Amino acid sequence: MRNQERDTGGHPEHEDHGNQKFPPPEAFRARARVRDLEHFQHLYRESLEDPDTFWRRETEDLLVRRHWTKLREWKLPKIEWFVGGELNVSESCLDRFLEGPTADKVALRFEGEPGETRSLTYRELHRQVVALAAALRARGIEKGDRVAIYMGMVPEAVIAMLACARIGAPHTVVFGGFAAEALADRLNDSGAKAVLTQDGAYRRGNILPLKAAVDIAVDEAPSVETVIVFRRLGQELCPLEMRPGRDYEWAELLAQAHPDQGYAEIVEAEHPLFILYTSGSTGKPKGILHTSYGYLAYAHVTTKYIFDIRDDDIYFCTADVGWITGHTYVTYGPLSNGATVVLYEGAPNQPDWGRFWQIVDKHKVTILYTAPTAIRAFMRAGDEFVDGHDLSSLRLLGSVGEPINPEAWLWYHRKIGRERCPIVDTWWQTETGGIMITTLPGVHATKPGTAGVPFFGVKASVLPPSDEAADPDSGGLLTIDEPWPSMLRGIYGDPERVVQQYFSTVQGHYFSGDGAKVDEDGYIRVLGRTDDVLKLSGHRVGTAEIESCLVGHGAVAEAAAVGRPHDIKGQALVVFVSLKPFRRGSPKLEAELADHIATEIGRFARPDEVCIVPSLPKTRSGKIMRRLLKNIAAFEEVRGDLSTLEDRDVVDTIVQIFSARAR
DSSP helix/strand/coil, 157: helix
Least CB distance to ligand WT7 at residue 63 (A): 26
Stretch that binds ligand WT7, among 92-100, 140-148, 425-433, 576-584 (CB under 6 A): 425-433
Least CB distance to ligand WT7 at residue 431 (A): 7
Q: What is the largest CA-CA distance in the chain?
A: 75
Residue of the chain from 513, 565, 585, 602 that contacts ligand WT7 (CB under 6 A): 513
Distance between CA atoms of residues 117 and 111, nearest Å = 5
Least CB distance to ligand WT7 at residue 41 (A): 22
DSSP helix/strand/coil, 372: helix
Distance between CA atoms of residues 60 and 83, nearest Å = 16
Least CB distance to ligand WT7 at residue 21 (A): 18
Least CB distance to ligand WT7 at residue 479 (A): 12
Which residues on adjacent β-strands are paired with residue 288?
Answer: 276, 491
Does 427 help bind ligand WT7 (rule: CB under 6 A)? yes
Residue of the chain from 35, 447, 529, 564 that contacts ligand WT7 (CB under 6 A): 529
Q: Is the CB of 85 or the CB of 454 nearer to ligand WT7?
A: 454
Binding mask 255-284 for ligand WT7 (x = CB under 6 A): -----------------------x------
Stretch that binds ligand WT7, among 77-85, 415-423, 426-434, 543-551 (CB under 6 A): 426-434
Residues contacting 418, CB < 8 A, separation 6+ = 391, 392, 394
Does 324 help bind ligand WT7 (rule: CB under 6 A)? yes
Distance between CA atoms of residues 461 and 517, nearest Å = 10
Does 226 help bind ligand WT7 (rule: CB under 6 A)? no
Stretch that binds ligand WT7, among 423-431, 491-499, 600-608, 630-638 (CB under 6 A): 423-431
Does 401 help bind ligand WT7 (rule: CB under 6 A)? yes
3-class DSSP string for 219-255: HCCCCCCEEEEECCCCCCCCCCCCCCCCEEEHHHHHH
Residue pair 314/111 in contact (Cβ under 8 Å)? The answer is no
Q: How far is CA 442 from each of CA 245, 411, 423, rounded to the nearest angstrom?
A: 55, 21, 10
**Count of residues that bind ligand WT7 according to CB under 6 A:** 23
Q: Is the CB of 226 or the CB of 426 nearer to ligand WT7?
A: 426
Residue of the chain from 136, 397, 526, 654 that contacts ligand WT7 (CB under 6 A): 526
Stretch that binds ligand WT7, among 126-134, 240-248, 399-407, 560-568 (CB under 6 A): 399-407
Residue of the chain from 402, 407, 532, 547 that contacts ligand WT7 (CB under 6 A): 402
For 535-591, the DSSP string reads EETTEEEEHHHHHHHHHTSTTEEEEEEEEEEETTTEEEEEEEEEEPTT----HHHHH
Residue of the chain from 2, 327, 540, 569 that contacts ligand WT7 (CB under 6 A): 540
Distance of CA 478 to the CA centre of its chain: 19
Least CB distance to ligand WT7 at residue 563 (A): 12
Does 302 help bind ligand WT7 (rule: CB under 6 A)? no
Binding mask 101-130 for ligand WT7 (x = CB under 6 A): ------------------------------
Peptide bond into 406 cis (omega under 30): no
Distance between CA atoms of residues 96 and 61, nearest Å = 9
Q: How far is CA 112 from each of CA 58, 152, 394, rounded to the nearest angstrom?
A: 35, 11, 21
Q: Cα torsion for 194, 198, 200, 203, to the nearest 10°?
A: -100
Least CB distance to ligand WT7 at residue 256 (A): 38
Does 403 help bind ligand WT7 (rule: CB under 6 A)? yes
Stretch that binds ligand WT7, among 257-265, 424-432, 502-510, 631-639 (CB under 6 A): 424-432
Peptide bond into 351 cis (omega under 30): yes
Distance between CA atoms of residues 196 and 214, nearest Å = 9
Closest CA to 593 of 559, 550, 631: 550
Stretch that binds ligand WT7, among 79-87, 112-120, 295-303, 422-430 (CB under 6 A): 422-430
Residue of the chain from 88, 128, 190, 325 that contacts ligand WT7 (CB under 6 A): 325
Does 429 help bind ligand WT7 (rule: CB under 6 A)? yes
C-alpha triplet 35, 430, 565: angle, nearest 5°:
95
Q: Is the CB of 413 or the CB of 529 nearer to ligand WT7?
A: 529
Stretch that binds ligand WT7, among 210-218, 467-475, 488-496, 511-519 (CB under 6 A): 511-519
- 346: phi then psi, degrees, rounded to nearest 5: -110, -155
Residue of the chain from 32, 63, 451, 629 that contacts ligand WT7 (CB under 6 A): 451
Q: Taking each helix axis as running N to C, give the angle between helix 180-190 and helix 587-600, from 0 to 180 degrees, rounded to the nearest 10.
A: 40
Does 400 help bind ligand WT7 (rule: CB under 6 A)? yes
Residue of the chain from 91, 247, 514, 545 that contacts ligand WT7 (CB under 6 A): 514
DSSP helix/strand/coil, 463: strand
Q: Is the CB of 262 or the CB of 294 nearer to ligand WT7?
A: 294
H helices present in 76-154, as ranges: 89-93, 122-138
Least CB distance to ligand WT7 at residue 426 (A): 5
Does 446 help bind ligand WT7 (rule: CB under 6 A)? no
In whole angstroms, how large is the CA radius of gyration of the chain? 24
Where does this chain bind ligand WT7 (CB under 6 A)? 278, 323-325, 400-403, 425-430, 451, 512-514, 526, 528-529, 535, 540
